[in-house]
Structure 1
Amino acid sequence: MRPILLWLLCTHAVQACLESNHIFSPATNCLQCKDVAEVCQAERLWTRCYEKKIQSCTSKGRMGLILTLDASQESEQSPTLEHSVHIPQSAFRKSRGSENGTSTVLVTVLDSSYFKPTNRIRGRTLFPIPSGPRGQVLGGTVLVAHVLSGPMRNLPEPVTLTFKYGKKDVDGTCVFWEDDDDGNGFWSTYGCNTSKSDGKFVCRCNHLSFFAVLVNPVLSLSPKDVFHLTWMTSVGSALSAIFSVMGLVIFWCLSKRQPDRAVGLHAHLAAALLCLHSCFLLSRWRAAGVSGVSDPSCGALGLFLHWSLLAVVCWSALEGFHLYLLLVRVFNIYVRRYLLKMSALGWGVPTLIALVCGASGVYGKYTRELRNPDNGSSTMQLCWMSNSTGSLAVTYATTVAFPILVVLFNSCMLGLVVFKLWSLRGMGVGVGGGAKNAREKAKRLWKDCVTIVGLSCVLGLPFGLLTATYVSTPAVYVFTALNSLQGLFVFLWSLALLCKFRSDASSSSKDTSTQRMMTFNS
């Protein structure tokens, strides 16, 4: 009889739950607290549904999910080891439920997958802000801090929320989640200030809500991607070193037959590329066998690698300067001992910078951990500049800021080349038609395209793709392929110049405009 009675009671409780439209009480055990967020996802304003249903859910050992706190005192709660919330007393005084001396507070963490930003449309919002920021949620968790008696905003004292982020240094912004009346959700920074201290983000906000820290998206590389990129870099650098030697031989032969300043500049650029790729391969090989950070041989290779990279950037800048003399100055561009002075700049500036950096002791073994989507990591080692703070500043100044300035200048020069080519072609093209004229136009267009692509490689423009590597994995592949094969591109440019020289030598009619563009004649 007793089992039947218990069965009837349970059946009546389930029926009461169904009839109450899923508004559960603790006595019925109909909805677990861990399932509230999942159930409310079907609602248009799901966060408001969550705030309502979380008050009547049930959970074994509620883990401080809903707390009844003394409204006359400030409170600090830590739902996890990485999160904490400090609520000032003034927040409880604003609460309508604090008349009896207590306030009911919700403090917990939710998975960030529940929060899916949508495009905002016009309509009323809780706070007057523009479209929300974008980024990756730190740790994939959202900290919930809410007084269940009603919305809390414009507090006289800010609520302090703490997010620990571990050893890795990241930049982030404190945000909260907002739903408008149309059901659109987005992150907002309104009323929140962000600061960093001792491996944690400290958010101070004038309201209570669903809080998170948005950090810059971190590009994750799988072990397969790391293997492919490593293989591409090694093979590409080896090919570049080989083809740089071949390009040097061709440039030397051209300079003997037809002395030209541009050919001399190309030869120095090929030499710098040979040094860069050869030293890069040696640095990777040496770093694998070094256990300490301050190994002298690894430091010396790091200095030489840095010097080679600076030399490549400097000679690319000098190529752009030479192009400026041809296309902008045009007249009175003769400079006595021009190539010797260019050599003093192209090799002297990198030497001076490398010696100053070497005296400050920044060179050593560099180690970088690469994350993958499975939360694993792989380690990249190179004889370069060590991971110290001073080395990081030198790295950004000499290998990021300086090359970007060179790329911007050379991009302007390349744009000027395109403009000059179109102008010259427009003046030289006749009005007549026919198949022969069409073939001539196609041939000239092909030559112009080859000229532009070749100049892009000579001017070092592929390095400008560095910013794209923070966007997607395919961009990393493109950047790696173009820059590791730069020696091959310079070799192909030397072949183009050689073919042009032979063609001009065997023909009495020359296209002077293309010759100027192809050989940088002064």
Structure 2
Amino acid sequence: MEVSGLKEPIKITISSTTTINTTLKPICVYLNTRTNDTSPKECDQTEYNQTHITCFSKHLTYFGVLLVSADLSPKDQEIISYITFIGCGISLFALVITVLLFIANRNLRGDDSKKIHINLTVALILLNIHFLSSQAVAATSSSELCFYVALLLHYSLLASFTWMVLEGFHLCLLLVKVFNIYVRRYLLKLSVVGWGLPAVIVSLVVIIDRNIYGRTPLIPSRPNETTICYITDNTVKMVTTVGLFSMVFLFNVSMFGVTVKWFVGSHFGKQHRHRDWNAVQREILTLLVLIVLLGLPWGLIFFALGPLPAPGLYAFCILNCLQGFFIFIYFVLYLKKSKDSAAAPSTATQSASIKT
């Protein structure tokens, strides 16, 4: 007799013959005999202690327990959660200050590169705002509000990735500027791509299935714990976010490699063999700035598709949550450099007049 669709889940308790530790955890699985699917599917819920594992299910079939690599320990998860929210809060504040600095400084507003940086800054502001509010909104009873937060979170993430690849594209043009490449209405076209492409992707997702945006577990293997408002379908999540970023990452890594090659070539060239240490420091700082602007630390996400050790997750959270803060530091250093450069001629003039 087939038993399915139970209103209350049944509990199946299985004794454990293997020691359960922090590196391995049990997961209840079942076989779908109706579709002759021999791949085990995870049950609705699993509870366990040192001696027994309890599986919760609303149907009956063949059940078993698999030992898989454990996720982060509760302590690591709590620490990373604090790092994430504190880092995103710091970045959000720093990014807002960066926008204000851009608005207040005429030299920044006249630089195409800085205009591209500020578009990335705005995208990251939207990303941090919706990410920080996502968990709180998911805890409310409003499904409509959760839908819009999930949609805007997805849009701002895609916009951030798009502006990262446009940073790489702009870098490509700068490296080949000797050919006098000119693009009519350059910034307008970049803005259409940077803000328009994510809007097209999000619109297609809504047209396909509006319910793709909603409440979803922060950690898929722990469905009964923290939830956020985001994409509920793993396939859509992989295609629209990981798929897009894969192309962004490959392009930007290649552009970064070309830049490193250019710097190395100029440093070891015949005319620059005696370059001073200050010039080398400036080049290293430039490369570090490019790593941030091109979003290369996000590449750690590829390791997250498999078992990523706790140190890797810590590095991913720290580097990416503070991306906005690093951009703010870059703008501050640029303004300081511009101020020092402007003051240098006047100082030289004063010295000349004193000697005279």
Q: What TM-score, normalized by structure 1, do the two folds share? A: 0.52
CA distance in 2, matches of 1:199, 1:490: 54
Alignment of 1:432-443 (within 5 A): 441-443=276-278
| Counterpart residue number, 1:454 | 289
| Counterpart residue number, 1:296 | 144
Name the CA shift for 1:137/1:422 in 2 (closer, same or farther; >3 Å). Answer: same
- Contact 2:150–2:213 (CA<8 Å) still a contact in 1? yes
| Counterpart residue number, 1:384 | 230
Q: Which moved more, 1:262-271 or 1:464-473?
A: 464-473
1:429 aligns with 2:280: no
- Contact 2:24–2:70 (CA<8 Å) still a contact in 1? no
Amino acid at match of 2:43: K
Q: 1:393-425: per-residue Cα shift (whole Å, max 9, x none)?
A: 110011111112211111111111111112222
Structure whose alpha-carbon radius of gyration is higher? 1
Name the CA shift for 1:200/1:420 in 2 (closer, same or farther; >3 Å). Answer: farther
Name the CA shift for 1:354/1:330 in 2 (closer, same or farther; >3 Å). Answer: farther
| Counterpart residue number, 1:364 | 214
| Counterpart residue number, 1:167 | 43
| Counterpart residue number, 1:503 | 340
Name the CA shift for 1:252/1:331 in 2 (closer, same or farther; >3 Å). Answer: farther
RMSD of equivalent CA atoms: 3.3
Amino acid at match of 2:339: R
- Contact 2:108–2:115 (CA<8 Å) still a contact in 1? no
**3-state DSSP class of the match of 2:230?**
strand
| Counterpart residue number, 2:331 | 494
- Contact 2:94–2:324 (CA<8 Å) still a contact in 1? yes
- Contact 1:165–1:199 (CA<8 Å) still a contact in 2? no
CA distance in 2, matches of 1:264, 1:200: 60
Amino acid at match of 2:280: L
CA distance in 1, matches of 2:81, 2:165: 28
- Contact 1:325–1:333 (CA<8 Å) still a contact in 2? yes
- Contact 1:82–1:163 (CA<8 Å) still a contact in 2? no
- Contact 2:172–2:255 (CA<8 Å) still a contact in 1? yes
Alignment size in residue pairs = 303
Name the CA shift for 1:449/1:493 in 2 (closer, same or farther; >3 Å). Answer: same
State the Cα distance separating 1:505 from its structure 2 match: 2.9
Higher helix share: 2
Percent of aligned pairs sharing the same letter: 31
| Counterpart residue number, 1:242 | 93
- Contact 1:421–1:448 (CA<8 Å) still a contact in 2? yes
Name the CA shift for 1:502/1:258 in 2 (closer, same or farther; >3 Å). Answer: farther
| Counterpart residue number, 2:9 | none
CA distance in 2, matches of 1:353, 1:377: 27
**3-state DSSP class of the match of 1:379?**
coil
Name the CA shift for 1:255/1:337 in 2 (closer, same or farther; >3 Å). Answer: farther
1:309 aligns with 2:128: no
| Unpaired segments ≥5 residues, structure 2 | 1-11, 29-37, 46-59, 346-356
- Contact 1:316–1:459 (CA<8 Å) still a contact in 2? yes
1:266 aligns with 2:117: yes
- Contact 1:407–1:461 (CA<8 Å) still a contact in 2? yes
CA distance in 2, matches of 1:168, 1:463: 31
| Counterpart residue number, 1:352 | 200
Alignment of 1:204-223 (within 5 A): 218-223=69-74
| Counterpart residue number, 2:303 | 468
Name the CA shift for 1:445/1:200 in 2 (closer, same or farther; >3 Å). Answer: farther
1:412 aligns with 2:258: no
**Higher RCO (CA 8 Å, separation ≥ 6 residues):** 2
